[in-house]
Amino acid sequence: MRGFIASSIGVACAAALSLPFALSSGAGAATTPSAASALTAGAISGSTQSLPLTVLPRDRGLRVPGEQGLTQRDVHPFSLVGVIWDDPAAALEGRVQVRTRATGTARWSGWQEVETHNGDHAPDPGTAEHDSGRLRGATAPLWVGASDGVEVRVRPEAARTDRAAAPAGPAANSAAQAPLPKGLQLELVDPGHEPPPGGAPADVPRTGALTAESAAASAVNADLAPPGADAIPALSKKETESELIAARGGEAQAKAGPFIGPRPRIVTRKGWGADETLREANFGYTSKVKAVFVHHSVTGNNYSCSQAPSVIRGIYRYHVKSMGWRDIGYNFLVDKCGNIYEGRAGGVEKPVKGAHTLGFNTNSMGVAVLGTFSSSKPPAAAVTGLARLAAWKLGLYGGNPSGKTYLTSAGGNLYRKGESVRLNVISGHRDGFATECPGRLLYDKLGTARSTSASLQGR
């Protein structure tokens, strides 16, 4: 592996052109002209509609007091949905549910739950990304597929301090409800064009000359693939070891020994269609990769593997445009078919600092398996893809996938700032932060991922 690029490629990030859509005329407002013209000209891929939520009428007493949302309405096409609010430190104590209408039909879905998230994925405190002033509180995004109608409700729940002692009855429940965060708004994300049907997502060709931003994102992987490549090719274990020795010289055997897994095929940011004008131009790095934190994206399981690039583009846009992050938060993503995707820009070999595990983004990497695995089993192919990625990336830094390591907390809800914490080298998100992520059934598969990954390294 060649030397790290310390801070930036030196390419100024072009101003992001995607202005949120207003509601269509059927919903009471006109489309934002600049956003419409940009889309018509093909200047950007995808769009975001931001719709403020309002207090809903009681409707014969069936609604919860203080419930906010939007009644059924027509909107511009979208495929991914989430709710954001002003204060990133404020928790949303309640339930978020959404119904959507499939594009061009009269078919409405049932109510779907949106994971409230509440700060467990975020840049570390004290970093420039955290202190930028752009961050917002947010639910997890939910993939709903191509839709042009929406209805949402956000129902406050009883305040945690009052739940146990609150007496029964509607009046008592009303008095005990925690206020919803200020500035709630619905985010409807159009990730851009779907890949053509019938082809594997990694094989979808991308057309057009590289922009300056795309060239910069590609250049940091120049040792692994030609500029503008859609994917970094897989290597055998022997080829991977030879490449490492060639890159590092005599240091390779001393630092990593023979314990590195074969490099898996990785779909690049260009391969999944990242709009590089959305993110900040500079790249951010940490010192090394000592641990892998495994996540589920909580975007739901209703996607095909050919749609995975679209799901990732939706998450990327939601993280940057809606939540205020500098780039997508995860370092890598894995779909249900085991395809591996480059996440945050900066180079797949390099220790890119992500925003995946609040308090433990330093000297770690975050991998999100696309889907929701609280009650659904993760596909075996996804677990294998995770293991293959970990065997290779940890091997670059001498990490043992079945071992333990120490990380220093930057502060969170489990560990105080500065505390040295002993963790599995392959850990679940919940090991570093009090959250259900990566879902019980994916978490239960981490032992399999560890043993498979260690075996791939030759341990």
> Which domains are present in the chain?
25-190 (no CATH), 201-456 (3.40.80.10)
How many CA atoms are closer than 13 Å to the CA of 438, on its beta-carbon side? 31
Residue type, 109: S
Helix (H) or strand (E) holding 160: helix 160-163
Confidence band for 331, pLDDT divided at 50, 70 and 90? very high
φ, ψ for residue 110, nearest 5 deg: -75, 175
Q: What is the predicted pLDDT for the residue at 396?
A: 95
* 8 A C-beta contact, residue 92 and residue 116: yes
Stretch 370-396: mean pLDDT, rounded?
97
Q: What is the predicted pLDDT for the residue at 253?
A: 53
Residue whose C-alpha is closest to residue 286's, from 225, 347, 217, 343: 347
- Between these two residues, 126 and 338, which has the higher pLDDT value? 338
φ, ψ for residue 266, nearest 5 deg: -125, 120
Entry field: residues in the chain: 459
E strands of 229-335, at which residues? 231-232, 266-267, 291-296, 332-334
> CB count, 10 Å around CB of 261?
26
Distances (CA, A) of 119 to 88, 90, 219, 269, 320: 7, 8, 33, 26, 15
Go through 213-229 and write b for each residue having 16 or more CB atoms within 10 A of its CB, e for each that does not: bbbbbbbbbeebbeebb
Q: Where are the alpha helices (DSSP H) in 261-403?
A: 269-272, 308-317, 380-396
DSSP string computed for 188-223: EEE--PPPPTTS-GGG----SPPPHHHHHHHHTTTT
SS3 state of residue 180:
coil
Confidence band for 393, pLDDT divided at 50, 70 and 90? very high
| Tokens matching residue 168 | 């029964």
Confidence band for 176, pLDDT divided at 50, 70 and 90? low
Q: Which residues share a beta bridge with 151?
A: 99
Confidence band for 224, pLDDT divided at 50, 70 and 90? very high
- Whether the per-residue pLDDT at 437 is higher than 80: the answer is yes
The predicted-structure confidence for 259-288, as pLDDT tens digits, reads as follows 999 999 999 999 999 999 999 999 999 999
CA distance 435 to 427: 13
Record the pTM. 0.84
